[in-house]
Amino acid sequence: MSFSSKSLRLVLLFTITITIFKPSTSLNLNFISFTETFSLLFGYQNILLSNDDKSVQISMNQWARDGSGFVSRSAYHHGLFTASIKLPNNNYSAGVVATFYARNNAFNRDDEIDFEFLGHIPGEEWVLQTNIYGNGSVHRGREEKFTLPFDPSKDFHNYSILLNTGRVVFYVDGLPIREVRKVEAMGDDFPSKPLFLYGTIWDGSDWATHNGRYKTDFSHGPFVAGYAGFVINGCPVIDPTQPTQPDCQVSLPDGISAVERSKMQVFRRKYMTYSYCYDTGRYPNPLPECEAEAPDMQPAEPPVVLSPVEPPVSGASRRFRYI
């Protein structure tokens, strides 16, 4: 269901300032119009557009507890996808989940690449969780959790997903923090289908904060997340049966440079708090991409696995009712 620009601007509009993302590889990047690129997904009354149509706020509150979200009008086979995001700055945000992710919507066969931001109790910090799966392999979660070297609720920061034929790379402010390289033994677990882009905020009380110990308390709301600086450097899918689209040329990074890889290792060593590759309680036999032939994917020292009995879970399956 689509909406006109007039119907989207139902409440006062706002203006924000962002820092421009400059990746290490020279790309033809242009910030895009929200209404030309995205449609409202749910919680329409909780979505506010800026007057320049380049940024948006999504929120949830005690009167609209299902939250809100948006989805791209087109799907993409490969590309570099960026959003600048400012998370809710409430002192208590436990149970709140804000996301920026790519997904293909094939029922029980879906591919997905996730940034999931998990709320916190007072005195703690937002947690960034990344995850990928392919062909509906949600029971083989590949979650990694990180704290961040900044407060993501104080200002806008850039979060990017690079999807190429053989790799997925997650970036924070232009710095790669995670790379997943396709290995043959992964089979269909590696995302391969055209993906739509999403931004959502919703109630993940049953899992998001300390595995559901702390629930969303709407008396601390509203919970508002800002999204801006959208960049889509990819070819929209015209014919889903074709692996590439005619007359569409996109330059994407081929991989991570030696300098970037070194910085990624430092980041992972300092800020990673969980990796499925080290969770032997969950995976006695590590998943294929965790094996020693791909040591660059892991930090120099294993992170502390806080709860092998209750491993992190992704909220992906909880979003089906909105799609």
The residues annotated with a catalytic role in the active site are: 112, 116
Highest mean pLDDT among 185-199, 280-294, 305-319: 185-199
Is the pLDDT assigned to residue 17 strictly greater than 50? no
Q: Quick check: helix, strand or coil at residue 47?
A: strand
Is the pLDDT assigned to residue 242 strictly greater than 70? no
Please give the helix or strand (H or E) that residue 225 lies within, else none: strand 223-236
pLDDT for 16 equals 32
User: pTM of the prediction?
Assistant: 0.84
Structure-block tokens of residue 319: 């979003």
Residues 6+ positions from 254 with CB-CB distance below 8 Å: 164
Q: What DSSP string runs through 272-323? A: EEEEGGG-TTT-SS--GGGSTT-GGGS-SSPPP-S-SSS----SGGGGGGG-
Euclidean distance between CA atoms 312 and 11, whole angstroms? 37
Is the pLDDT assigned to residue 146 strictly greater than 50? yes
pLDDT interval class at 40 (50, 70, 90): very high
Q: Quick check: helix, strand or coil at residue 224?
A: strand
CATH says 5-322 is which class? mainly beta
All structural domains of the chain with their residue ranges: 5-322
Euclidean distance between CA atoms 309 and 289, whole angstroms? 22
Residue owning tokens 């961040």: 148
Spatial contact of 197 and 71, defined as CB atoms under 8 Å apart: yes
Give the single-character DSSP code of 100: E
Euclidean distance between CA atoms 98 and 225, whole angstroms? 7
Is the pLDDT assigned to residue 173 strictly greater than 80? yes
Spatial contact of 274 and 307, defined as CB atoms under 8 Å apart: no
Residues β-bridged to residue 271: none
Q: What is the pLDDT of residues 277-307, one digit of tens each?
A: 988 899 999 898 887 445 555 555 666 554 4
Is the pLDDT assigned to residue 138 strictly greater than 80? no
Spatial contact of 97 and 315, defined as CB atoms under 8 Å apart: yes
pLDDT higher at 110 or 90: 90
Euclidean distance between CA atoms 110 and 26, whole angstroms? 31
